[in-house]
Homo-oligomer: A and B are copies of this chain.
Amino acid sequence: MPVGTQATVKGVTAAQLRETTATLPDVTAQMILGNTYHLALRPGHELIRKMGGLHQFMNWDGPILTDSGGFQVFSLSKLNKIDERSAVFHSHIDGRKIDLTPEYSVEIQESLGSDIAMVLDHVIALPASDEAVIDATERSVRWAVRSLNAATRSDQARFAIVQGGLNETIRAQCARDLAAHPFDGFAIGGLSVGEPPPEMYRIVKATCPHLPEDKPRYLMGVGRPIDMLEAIAEGVDLFDCVMPTRNGRNAFAFTDEGPLKLRNAIHKDDPRPLEDSCPCPACQHSRAYLRHLFVTGEMLGPILLTIHNLTYYQRLMHQAREAILAGTFLELLERHRALAAPKEM
């Protein structure tokens, strides 16, 4: 899922976003992610509801998943107080106090009208004591059940979020506790927050076996191509990450040969596109042109590389699906493991 925090995937029109999958066979729509916290602050979920919901507001007719706000409470708010009832914190925009209960997160997401709503969870900073991790994890399970009970829309799916820090036992217990409830899918949260990738893979590997086989699994906030493929190997289906868009804005292009940093002088007079076979608008140009756009600070550089990277990520996920069906997934994974130590190009 491309990340569309504030009702826009940064720098990309809805038509351009649709085109990132246009040449992939059997892919007719892709899901994007919106953020409950950001949208509740600006422009406000009541306004979006009045405007016909988030799909109409941002003119996106594909599926939308909304995050619950739990991660933003953790990452954005310096002053927050979490107790059993709610997370009380201060807006990063204007300092206004917000009392976010699991039920209020459901209400906001129902106003937004996303296709998939995430439950509010309690994300804690790592490292933390086992006691603190267990406390936050058990609270996350109770909040997840409260969210399920608060939901009123029959046209919105609800995903729970497994917490448990870097402790395999706590993760497994959390996964089993959540799997006992009729959620439509299960996310693995609280990862990709600074831990080394092998730690993340270890937790994903320990968690997936305890999740239902027939429900989608979503690894939140991940990640690099290799991270996604390693997680797919463990049974994960769905990802969101700002990496294709944020890196694109910073002149970093993903390619099947490894990353390219477009500000580097080596690209100065290179007539080749980023990738020969890529159908995206960036690949209608030379690397020399793309570098020129970044060197001169032109908006079109970030725009084109964002579109290229989203196209690359969508193609990678398509390749993973095709490889699974063809029984060649491990070859794809090995190829990307070889690429994963990025060379400066």
* Chain A residues within 8 Å of B, Cβ to Cβ: 6-8, 10-16, 42-43, 47, 50-52, 57-59, 268-269, 271, 281, 284-286, 288-289, 291-293, 295-296, 298-300, 302-304
Rounded to whole angstroms, the CA-CA distance of A300 and B52 in the bound complex is 20
Q: A6-B296, A10-B298, A299-B302 are in contact. List 12 more A-B contacts (CB 8 A).
A: A7-B289, A10-B299, A10-B300, A14-B284, A42-B292, A43-B291, A43-B292, A47-B269, A51-B269, A57-B286, A58-B285, A303-B303
Number of copies: 2
Per a CB cutoff under 8 Å, which of B15, B51, B286, B302 touches A288?
Answer: B51
Quick one: closest B residue to A249, CB to CB?
A: B299
Q: Is the CB of A6 within 8 A of B298?
A: yes
Which of B7, B11, B58 touches A303 (beta carbons < 8 Å)? B11
Q: Would you call A11 and B299 a contact (CB within 8 A)?
A: yes
For the complex formed, measure the closest distance between the CB of A67 and the CB atoms of chain B, giving whole angstroms: 17
Give min CB distance, A78 to chain B, whole Å: 21
Known A268-B43, A299-B299; contact A289-B51, beta-carbon cutoff 8 A: yes
**Given contacts A43-B288, A51-B269, are A303 and B13 in contact (CB under 8 A)?**
yes
Contact B293 A8 (CB under 8 A): yes
* Whole-angstrom distance between the Cβ of A301 and the nearest chain B Cβ: 8
Nearest-neighbor residue (CB-CB) of A9 within chain B = B300
A47 in complex: contacting residue of B6, B15, B268, CB < 8 Å = B268
Contact A288 B47 (CB under 8 A): yes
A305 to chain B, nearest CB (A): 12
Give the contacting residue for A7; candidates B10, B42, B292; CB below 8 A: B292
CB distance from A191 to the nearest CB of B (A): 27
Complex interface: chain B residues within 8 A of A13 (CB): 16, 281, 300, 303-304
- Return the 8 tightest CB-CB contacts between A and B, nearest first: A11-B299, A8-B300, A43-B292, A6-B296, A59-B284, A8-B298, A13-B281, A57-B289
| Docked pose: A108 CA to B62 CA in angstroms | 48
* Complex CA–CA separation, A298 to B57 (angstroms): 15
